[in-house]
Structure 1
């Protein structure tokens, strides 16, 4: 981007971008999503697993930002550096497409929220809902085209505005909290059984990934940082703050409502919880906060999407046209493709029975792929001792442990999420590879190495199996 916007992001601004990217649609849906799956005990286990895994990933982003400062927009440049061009492309495309799906989720939830007062919007995936969402989509698109700096300033204001109603929700529900009701809900409404609790926890896995997506927000914009060391600080501190909010929003409702009542709430379920405590104004208050939050998160994620595609072109992973900037220093071609894909996903939600759940889980599955590659690169770097020659051995061992746990966590989450989402991801990766092929042809280079060609073959196979599953009803949307 233009020189005027380089190296001007402070650590607090980048932490705000992490928080702004993470706090969006997901946190407002947590009570019912968890209530439908488990009780407080299962929720605590789920957050312990997710919190540990994602904290380790945050630590990986932290030490990679310091050890590989020349690898800017690290979410996919680490994958390219560690595992080659096509793997780098898969990380870039997975992050970009997953983020576009996430933006679609925001629109579905906004219209589902308004659907409580405007029946035509239903659960956020009716034709009127998609039409209004499309107007908002392109309005924000043209605002961003006026300048990323302007949009980033708006995001800082929105980040503060959306945290306030969440904190007020936590305070009010905490005062209404009943220990006896919490105890009744504790085991999820049944007698304790390890296998039953683990089954409950598994149902929450992709949700916990979804609400933490955005932890890489500072890393993506690292090339604008005043001090590269601030990138890691912003990532870890932003993550810890959001984790505390997520746990409180999940657990406190079990102390004011029975689990079946929480599970039956329409989304955004935070509104239903507060309504049960203070009356109708609580639902209105949370719904207003959600709309501000989601629009702010959408703005942040649109910037992240466009920046990822823009930087991928600079690393020759997608055609160079995506590196074009308009007179305001905005990657306009990347922005047009990003919002074009979001528009496509919005139209497809009309045909999905559970649009919010589908887009949430698909977003998580797509984003886990680049997360796995980042963690694996961190492990490879520490294991090979590269950049650690003058460091104490205990530092290398500590960072090796961080990366190993983050890698195992990402693999576990992909498996726990279910094979069907891997197959659906392949349906997106297969045609998306055309961008990589075009980029290689621009450079007059061979497209695939032998191992990469084999991987592409597996992607094609997965896509075919996924399409067959959709056609036969084995996989349902």
Structure 2
């Protein structure tokens, strides 16, 4: 079959999935590596009080983002792969390209955390794996990535079905963890951890320092929106988004809070990842660590599957809209965007190699993933504000609807702007390095179409990105930015 024939057949056979499967995509992509790292990441920064406030802030902010994606799915049902499409519709092709590229890159870098955490888990029994940052860990992670590439290459329907099964299988061990910790929770330890430890700063600093990890664990809240072209009904996208978010939020907050009742936060902060294993081992004995480790491997493999699908989907839809090079729009007869999937796996492979140079492979990949996602999220929230301000698509909507949508959009924008502040300059400059390099794809796209590479406004934006990238490279060279 020729490439064009394959592409036509793929479009004709676009797989349609139910609201249950879309919800499983949201839960499956959100419940991955991050939840198993929560005890240590929070223990390093804050106590019970700070954690509660942090989850209220993060939960409220992410719920507003979930509502944004829900409303945009209804307001603009013609837009697929939401995160990218909303930025383009609101602010032009080049900004839309950056949103697509940033979101795609965050998915690929996030996939690296999964293999780092798997090999770090194995390192508890096989020292050669270390903390997921050894040559053996790199080799095993690389083999795993390419095995999944060939699995997904077989077809979207098969991969989505596997994801739904794995989602159920991985949530059960996490719920068991919460219940067991509640059963043995020590009120005295919990009380001692309430106000934080000596190494924690002000309450505001404590809360700010947890924001990137909360972003990371909530990535995937937009999963149904990204996968919207496969929904049987457009309203299912919004329902799946909110249902998946609320389910996962309860799990994440519970895992964090109950851990403070098992051991002092200073000891939690020193646990190796996955820190959930260390907490449960302290609570119930050695078998607890094994139990969590098995659950982690199932969870992470499921999340990797979901994120591989979403990363390829963003590139594919952008290419179909002529915002990425044409070769990325090729799909097989089974509706698999094969070239987009290949490029995504290749980027993940590259970042996995880079983690060998970092001081903490998992934390580096986690924080970079979160920071790359912030700009696409901010652009989606700003587009919701723009739609409300111009009243485009609102028609004769009621005053209540107008007020509600305005509040949601503004709160989501404020939250994502705060996240950019909390992330700090270092990761923003690292993101600029990627954006500058990724612009090559934009240039190729414009040349394919025989168009000028940049409009004057786009050239100005590109100059800003290049300036940020240069500052990032200088920072890496000078040592004030570290991997």
Normalised-by-shorter TM-score class: over 0.9
Of stretches 101-110 and 256-265 in structure 1, the one that deviates more from structure 2 is: 256-265
Would you say the 8 A contact 1:5–1:224 is kept in 2?
no
The 2-side partners of 1:98 and 1:16 are apart by 20
Q: Are 2:14 and 2:335, in contact at CA under 8 Å, matched by a contact in 1?
A: no
Contact 1:7-1:226 at 8 Å conserved across structures: no
Distance in 2 (alpha carbons) for counterparts of 1:106 and 1:4 = 34
Distance 1:246 1:5, change over 3 A: farther
Distance 1:4 1:180 in 2: 62
Separation (CA, whole Å) in 1 of partners of 2:309 and 2:220: 12
1:307·1:331 contact (CA, 8 Å) conserved in 2?
Answer: yes
Which residue among 355, 368, 374 is the counterpart of 2:374?
368
Quote the Cα distance in structure 1 between the aligned partners of 2:152 and 2:457: 40
1:272-311 counterparts in 2 under 5 A?
Answer: 272-311=278-317
**Residue in structure 1 matched with residue 139 of structure 2 by the alignment:** 131
Q: Give the superposition deviation at 1:449.
A: 2.1
What is aligned with 1:437?
Answer: 443
Shift of 1:45: 1.1
Which residue in 1 is equivalent to 2:261?
255
- The aligned residue for residue 147 of structure 1 is 155
1:42 maps to 50
Are the equivalent residues in 1 in contact too, given 2:15–2:335 (CA < 8 A)? no
Q: Does 2:20 correspond to 1:16?
A: no
- 1:243 corresponding residue in structure 2: 249
Q: Does the 8 Å CA contact 1:5/1:149 hold for their aligned counterparts?
A: no
Contact 1:321 1:333 in 2 (8 A): yes
Separation in 1, partners of 2:479, 2:435: 21
1:417-432 maps to which residues of 2 (within 5 A)?
417-432=423-438
Aligned length: 475
Residue of 70, 82, 86 corresponding to 2:78: 70
In structure 2, the partner of 1:390 is 396
1:440 alignment partner, SS class: helix
Instruction: Describe how 1:140-219 pairs up with structure 2 within 5 A.
Output: 140-189=148-197, 196-219=202-225
Distance apart, 1:328 and its partner CA: 2.6
TM-aligned CA deviation for residue 4 of structure 1: 6.6
Q: CA deviation at 1:177?
A: 1.3
- Asked whether the equivalents of residues 218 and 235 of structure 1 are also in contact (C-alpha less than 8 Å), the reply is yes
Q: Report the Cα distance in structure 2 between the residues aligned to 1:90 and 1:4, rounded to whole angstroms.
A: 29
Partner of 2:4: none
Of 455, 463, 473, the match for 1:467 = 473
- Structure 2 regions of 5+ residues with no counterpart? 1-6
- What SS does the corresponding residue of 2:233 show, helix, strand or coil? coil
**Residue 341, structure 1, aligned to residue 347, structure 2:** yes
Give, in whole Å, the separation in 2 of the partners of 1:129 and 1:178.
37
Hey, what does 1:95 align to over in structure 2? 103
* Cα shift readout 1:89-141 (whole Å, capped 9, x = no counterpart): 00000000111000011111111111111111111011110001111111111
Q: The residue matched to 1:57 in structure 2 has which SS?
A: helix
Residues 100, 315 of structure 2: 8 Å contact kept: yes
Distance 1:121 1:423 in 2: 31
Query: What is the CA distance between 1:3 and its match in structure 2?
Result: 5.3
1:313 to 313, 319, 326: 319
Question: Residue 202 of structure 1: SS of its match in structure 2?
Answer: helix
In structure 1, the gaps of 5 or more residues are none
- Deviations 1:333-359 (CA, angstroms, capped at 9, x unpaired): 111111011110111111111111111
Matched residue, 1:106: 114
**1:451 & 1:174 partners in 2: Cα distance?**
56
